[in-house]
Amino acid sequence: EECFVDSPNIQELLGKTVPVVEANIPDDVAKYLGIKTSVSTENVLEYLHSLSGKTGVDKKLLVRLYSYLDQYGDGYADDFKSEKLIYVPSSDSWRSVNEVVWDDASDLLDDLYGWLAPGYAKANLKGFFLDLGVSEKVSLSEYVDAWARLPEHESDEKYLERAISRIYPDRKSVV
């Protein structure tokens, strides 16, 4: 596990989630000992890898990590495409870019994807996730599949009403 020098910037980003050295040591000594003196894109990615798969992760911590990458990081998009580094608070699960969608269509598609807007909209992370390659909306083919499954729910009027109102308004511009 990585160890960092105790600094306001590191504490603000990582909180008390990583070991810190409270002694005032010169940067060259810290480097020699393998103690990190600042946070980098690589550190944040390594930390996300260590969190991936764990449940009950502090969403505020993840918002700080994703915000750091959004503002200061570079060269990290491929990691999010190949690894499950996106935490979905509503399902307490980790997913990759192709397993999540920004807009929430869980009322129609249940847990087919991880829905990000409910967990991250207030944190203004939409641009970050879209830049990673996350789809903003469910594809037309997913809605077509949902439409084809409607007869399975013919006895559930509330579901049908919700589904039709969800599918039709989102797709009327395509028709």
Span 61-86, pLDDT tens digits: 999 999 999 998 889 999 999 999 99
* Mean pLDDT score, 10-21: 69
Let me know: does 67 contact 125? Beta carbons within 8 Å.
yes
How many alpha carbons fall within 13 Å on the CB side of residue 158? Answer: 1
Q: What is the pTM of this model?
A: 0.76
* Mean pLDDT score, 103-129: 90
From residue 161, how far is each of 109, 152, 158, 174 by CA, in Å?
Answer: 14, 14, 5, 20
Query: What is the C-alpha R_g of the chain?
Result: 20
pLDDT of residue 100: 95
d(CA 49, CA 16): 18
Amino acid found at 113? Y
At 175, the pLDDT band (50, 70, 90 cuts) reads very low
Let me know: does 85 contact 49? Beta carbons within 8 Å.
yes
pLDDT digits (tens, 9 = 90+) for 158-168: 766 766 666 66
